[in-house]
Amino acid sequence: MLYVIYVLAGLGAGVVTGLAGLSAAVVITPLLASLCGWASYDAVTVALAADVLASLLTAYTYYKNKNIDLKNGMFVAITAFLGTVVGSYSGYLFSQSQPDGLGYISMATTISLGIKFLAQPITKGHNAKSGSADIGAKKTVLAMFLGCGIGWVCGFTGSGGGILMLTVFTLVLGYNLKVAVGTSTMIMTLVALTGTVSHVTMGAVMNYLPMLIVIACCIFGAWISARFANKCEIKKLNRVVGICLFILGTVTISIKLFL
């Protein structure tokens, strides 16, 4: 039964990464922590490791469809990298005093993300080519500052980075959903890699076979869903992701609380 959960966790994580650029941790961390009894810090480590390849593959798919702004994305990536290192250390300290805390935070994040997509779908914005030319220096600096904070959140909880990146790229830089997803997954590749190395260095327990199963399924789910997302109508995309996240978060936190 545990291995069935590993497969479902990986597939689900890949789907939300490919569809909306969300961190794989919004699926993997709650499932491993609530259903499999993993320590939250170890579950976050596996989620970040899965995020590296899933985000990379997703970003490449969006890049082929011209839905990535490489220039501004790399500026934000630099500050996000620094924030992730600090966040990973903060998460380690927190996990020592509150072993289940990161798991609950991730579950609550999942529910809030689902509500956000349903209540406030991202339907407007410009494409990568026109946006890169129109964005001023002040907006770029603001995006870099926010990227540092997002990196901290991702390093601390292993989740939240994707949706926060979407917020920066849609509200601050004004991109449409697809460009925001593509650019955020490009950045999340670096952020997740930094977080993974930091977590392992700080003593996370590595369960190699479950980790490989989760990562392989996550990559497959990301590949399929990213191809679908680049052809899907934006309103429908918001609806699908919102419903999936809300159900997932509600189920996992209910199991954790009542079983």
How many angstroms separate the first and last alpha carbons of the chain?
Answer: 16
Query: Would you give the DSSP letter of residue 24?
Result: T
Domain carrying residue 207: 2-258
Place of tokens 């990213």: 226
- CB of 189 closer than 8 Å to CB of 63: no
Tally of domains in the chain: 1
What are the structure tokens assigned to 165, written together?
Answer: 């990146």
pLDDT for res 66:
85
Query: Would you give the DSSP letter of residue 39?
Result: -
pLDDT for res 209:
92
Please list the pLDDT of the chain residue by residue as tens digits (259 residues).
889 999 999 998 898 888 877 778 778 887 887 788 888 778 888 988 898 999 899 989 988 888 888 777 788 878 877 887 787 777 666 655 554 555 566 667 667 767 877 887 766 655 555 545 455 677 778 888 887 887 777 667 655 566 677 777 777 777 877 888 888 888 888 777 877 887 788 777 888 899 999 999 999 999 999 998 888 887 787 788 788 778 777 876 776 676 6
pLDDT for res 141:
82
**CA 83/CA 221 separation, integer angstroms:** 28
pLDDT for res 130:
52
Task: For helices 177-201 and 137-157, give the axis angle rounded to 10 degrees.
Answer: 50
What are the structure tokens assigned to 160, written together?
Answer: 């939240």
* Residues contacting 2, CB < 8 A, separation 6+: 36, 210
What are the structure tokens assigned to 152, written together?
Answer: 């901290």
